[in-house]
Amino acid sequence: MRIEQRQPTQHLGLDDDLLDRVFSARGINDPSQLERGLVNLLSPADLPEIDIAAARLADAVEQNQKILIVGDFDADGATSVALCLLALRAMGATNVDFLVPNRFDYGYGLSPEIVQLAATLAPNVIVTVDNGVASVDGVALANEMGIDVVVTDHHLPGDVLPDAHALVNPNVGDNAFASKSMAGVGVAYYLLSWVRQTLRQRDYFASRQIPEPNMAQYLDLVALGTVADVVPLDQNNRILVHQGLLRIRRGKTRPGIAALARVGKRDLSTLSASDMGFALGPRLNAAGRLQDMSVGIRCLVTDDPAEAGQLAAELDSLNQTRREIEQGMVADAEMILTQITPAPDEMGIAVYHESFHQGVVGIVAGRLREKFHRPAIVFADASDASDELKGSARSIDGLNIRDVLDSIATRLPGMLPKFGGHAMAAGLSIKRVHLARFQKAFDKAVRAAVTQDMLDAVLLTDGSLKQEQLNLQTVATLADAGPWGNGFAEPLFAGEFKLVNQRVVGQDHLKLVLGLNDQLIDAIAFRQKPLGGQPEHVNVVYKPALNDYAGQQTLQLMVEYIEAMS
C-alpha cells in the first residue's frame, strides 16, 4: 500500500481553509461548482430523444394506455421502477404496472423472453429503466408485436443500438448533456420531469383538475438509487443526492426508506450518502441478488408504514443471508487463487466454483479486487440446465472493464455472447467449456491495457489534521460539505499517533485508543488484525466520525489503514 497526499490545484477563496484544500484537491476550480440547489441542475432538454420519449408517455397517460415499466434487479433499478410508478400515477396514469426479470430465470435486460412475458400483460408501451441500451433483439420483438419501447438507460452502448421508439441515455450519440455519470434513476427522473412539462403544456392537469405533482418529492428515491449504484458524483449527481438527503433528514421520505434506515440502525435526521451506500442500498439489493426485486419495489412504493416495516425486515433478513453466502464465496475464491499460484500474479483475476451463488458474484468480485488490487471476474452457474456461466466484473481505477471485454470479444469471436456495463463494473456470459481459455484471454487483455502505476494500490489522503481540528465540529463541517462518494471521495487524513490500546471486537474488527499529545481518541479498524509486537507509535489513515453510543456523542476515527512506525 502506497500512501499519497492529494494536492490542491489552487486557492478557491473559501472561508474555511480545510474545505478549500479538500475541494481544490478534487478538481473544483470555481466555487460555483459547489452549488447544490435544484436551480443548478442541468436541463433535461439536452438529453437525446427526451422530447420523443416524453411525448409518447404523455400520450399514454392522456389516453389511459397500458404502461409497463421493465426494470433491473438492483437498487438503481428498484428505485427507478418505484419512481416511475409513483410519478406516473400522480400524473393521473391509472394503467401502469411493472415487471422486473428474475435474474436466475431471465437474466438482465429486455430480452426476447421478457418481451414474451410482458406481452401477456398487454402493454401499449414498455419503458425500460436502468437497462435497454443493449436489448436489440428484445426491442425488435416488441416492435413486431406492436408494442412501443421507450428505453431509459445509462450504461455504455454497444456497436448496435436498439430500434426503440425513443432511447434516452446520456452516453448515446453526440449529445450536449454534460453529466454522463447519471444513474438509471437519474435518467428516469429527468424523463418524468419532461413528461410532466409536456402534460402541463397540453393543459392536461388544469383541464382534468389533477394536481400537478411536485417532482422534488421523489428525490429521496433518486438519491438512494444514485448512491447505491456507485456512479461518480459529478456536480449534477451531487445536487440530486444532496437534495434527496435534505428531504430525508427533514422526515419527508417514503415509509420504505424510513423503514430501511431503521433496520440498518441509521438515524434519518443525520442520514448520509455513506449510510445509503453501506446500510440501505445493500438491503435493497439483497432482494434482487437472492430472490425477487419485487419485494424491494413494494417496500419503496407502499404508503403504509406497517407494511414498509414488514418488507424492510424481510429485506434485512435476505441481506444477512447474502452476507453469509458472500463470506463463504470469498473464502472459496481466495482458496482457488492459491491453488492456481502460490502468490497470485495474474493481472486479471477470473474465478469460478460450482458452489458460487449467481446473485452474489458481483460483491465477491469487488472483494477480490480490493484484496489483490486487480480487476476481477467471478463466475457462477446459470440457473437453467445450460452449460452457461454468468460472471460479474469489477475494475481498478484507470481500466475500462467494458473495453477490456470488448477487446476479447473482437479478438475471439463467439467467446462472449453477452456482455455490457460501465467502466468499473460489467456483466458477461460465457460457455463453461470456454472458461480456461477466457481466463487466459482476460489476463492477456488486462496486461495489454494496464500500467504498473495502475496496479499499485494507492491510498490518497488530504494530508494531516491539526490537533485542534480533531473534534466534532470538523466532523460536522465535512459532513455538511458532502455528499461524498465515488468520484468525489470522502476526505481521508493521515497522522502519527501513540497506540495506547488495541483489542479485537466482533469477529475481526480492531478497537483502538490512540493518543496525540494529551488527547485520547477512540478509533476502529474494520477487518483488521491486531498489530504484532504492541508498537508504541502508529501511522494511521482515517476519517473523523461521530460516535453516538448510548446517547453520548464523541469523536471516533474510522481507520482505513494502520501500520506500526519503525
Cell numbers standing for residue 302: 407502499
Which residues, 6 or more positions from 259, have their beta carbon under 8 angstroms from its beta carbon? 299, 305, 308, 309, 311, 312, 313
CB-CB contact of 72 with 131 (8 Å): yes
Measure the CA–CA gap between 522 and 555, rounded to whole angstroms.
7
Q: Round to whole Å and give the CA distance between 187 and 179.
A: 10
Q: Cα dihedral sign for 174, 177, 183, 184?
A: negative
Q: Report DSSP state, residue 564.
A: E
Can you tell me the distance from the alpha carbon of 315 to that of 260, in angstroms, rounded to the nearest whole number? Answer: 8
Per-residue pLDDT of the chain (566 residues; tens, 9 = 90+): 789 999 999 999 999 999 999 999 999 999 999 999 999 999 999 999 999 999 999 999 999 999 999 998 899 999 999 999 999 999 999 999 999 877 656 667 899 999 999 999 999 999 999 999 999 999 999 999 999 999 999 998 988 999 999 999 999 999 999 999 999 999 999 999 999 999 999 999 999 999 999 999 999 999 999 999 999 999 999 999 999 999 999 999 999 999 999 999 999 999 999 999 999 999 999 888 777 789 999 999 999 999 999 999 999 999 999 889 888 888 888 887 776 553 456 789 999 988 898 888 988 898 889 888 999 999 999 876 578 999 999 999 899 999 999 999 999 999 998 888 878 889 999 999 999 999 999 999 999 999 988 888 889 999 999 999 999 999 999 999 999 999 999 999 999 999 999 999 987 899 999 999 999 999 999 989 999 888 999 999 999 999 987 778 999 999 999 999 97
pLDDT of residue 342: 37
- Whole-angstrom CA distances from 202 to 190, 197, 205, 323, 433 are 19, 9, 8, 50, 57
Q: Which residues pair with 234 in a beta bridge?
A: none
Quickly tell me which residue has 430465470 as its cell.
105
Q: What is the DSSP string of 5-65?
A: E----S----S-HHHHHHHHTTT--SGGGG--SGGGSPPGGGSTTHHHHHHHHHHHHHTT-
Separation CA 176–CA 43 (nearest Å): 10
Residue whose entry in the numeric block shows the C-alpha cell 438519491:
223
**Dihedral of alpha carbons 475, 476, 481, 487, sign:** positive
Handedness of CA 271, 277, 281, 282 (dihedral sign): negative
User: What sign results for the dihedral spanned by CA atoms 443, 444, 450, 456?
Assistant: positive
* Whole-angstrom distance, CA of residue 264 vs CA of residue 271: 11
Closest CA to 43 of 55, 31, 51, 33: 51
Q: Is the dihedral of CA 13, 19, 21, 24 positive or negative?
A: negative
Q: How many helices (H) and strands (E) does the chain have?
A: 19, 17
Q: How far apart are CA 435 and CA 429, in angstroms?
A: 10
C-alpha grid cell for residue 135?
A: 436489448
- Is 510:520 a contact under the CB 8 Å cutoff? no
Determine phi and psi for 374, rounding to 5 degrees: -135, 150
**Which domains are assigned to the chain?**
2-25+462-564 (2.40.50.460), 44-316 (3.90.1640.30), 341-455 (3.10.310.30)
d(CA 223, CA 273): 8
Amino acid at 107: G
